[in-house]
Amino acid sequence: MNSSYSLVDTDQDFRRSLMSPPPINLSFWQQSTSSPAMSKARRTKILLSYLPDWIITIVLAAVFFALDKVPGYRRDFSLTDTSYAVHERIPNIALYFIAVVAPFVLQGLVNLITVRSWWDFHSATLGLILGLATTGAFTQFTKITVGRPRPDIVSRCIPKTGSVDPLWGLSNADICTQTSAAIMKDGWRSFFSGHSSLSFAGLGFLAFYMAGKFHLFDGRGHAAKTWVCLVPIAAASLVAYSRSMDYRHHWTDILTGCIVGLVFAYFSYRQYYPHLASPMSHRPYSPRIGRDDGIINELPLHSTHGNQEDQHHESMEGGYRDVELQDGTGPAKPTAMWPLET
């Protein structure tokens, strides 16, 4: 009889716990003991192992600027399209600040708020520049190959007096009287939008970086974190919208640029960080150079670059640790205590 009453009481307690769940505590990146500083020799060795990545990134950036000098192909156009705008809402210098400088600075601030790791800063910087350089080179190559006229091509061309479209066809650059080679060259670079692709490459990478640091896809749902991570995407969208308002691009150019920039941003992000649903999404992959013998409180942050998530939860002493949401019944149990090299 006693055992049966015990079962009933247990069942009632369980039901009461469902009706009134305990409070949930949210805590991130509780700092424990600090990790020892990495030796200068090891840090140099690690950075040199990523020299090929930096070389490729610099080459792609050089290709981006070099292709800007190429005249490129020029499609025929119609003289009936009289779209015209003189001033750009977001000139090139503003674009570089929005797509390059702003993400770089904000990633550094997020690093200081969360993991405070030089290795994370290196991985984020390399990933950001790689995404921008790849996007820029691909964008310029496409522009000079496709040669699509911008919506304001007639105002750029300044056709000869009395010029009309052929009865069966379109006009070409031969009827233009524009003397500025730069204006003419830029007039046939509509597809696809470089402002859109570069803004989504830079700010898109920042959005992925923030989503990983804040564990946006931890399966618990946090509206505030979602909106914070969407702010860079919203800013990139405003840049893209301005290209249509200024008659610099067709809507298909803008949409394609947004997609290309976001794809390359995620591609470069995944080169150095795990997927966003990973319990270790806030930490970059471990260096290519293994730990020195006898060193315990150092990286790797991830035991492998694969999907063996169970290996990522092995505990170590020191450094920063991640604390999961708890049910309030006991002390928080960290999902990982991998230390960060400083």
Cα dist. 59→14, 55, 63, 136 in Å?
63, 6, 6, 11
Helix (H, G, I), strand (E, B) or coil at 336: strand
CA 192 to chain centre: 19
Residues tagged active-site: 195, 249
In sequence order, what DSSP letters do the residues of 254-323 get, joined into one string?
A: HHHHHHHHHHHHHHHHHHHS--TTSTTTTSPPPPSSPPPTT--SS--SSS-SSS-GGGGG---SSSEEEE
Q: In what order do the strands lie in the sheet with 320-323?
A: 30-31, 320-323, 334-336
Q: Say if residue 295 is exposed, middle or buried (CB neighbours under 10 Å; 0-12, 13-18, 19+).
A: middle
Is the Cβ–Cβ distance between 84 and 247 less than 8 Å? yes
Q: Could you give the CA distance from residue 57 to residue 97 in angstroms, rounded to a whole number?
A: 19
Backbone angles phi, psi at 318, to 5 degrees: 90, 170
Host H or E run for residue 334: strand 334-336
Q: Could you give the CA distance from residue 206 to residue 76 in angstroms, rounded to a whole number?
A: 39
Is the Cβ–Cβ distance between 235 and 241 less than 8 Å? no
Q: What is the DSSP letter of 98?
A: I
CB atoms < 10 A from the CB of 97, how many? 12
Q: What is the DSSP letter of 151?
A: T
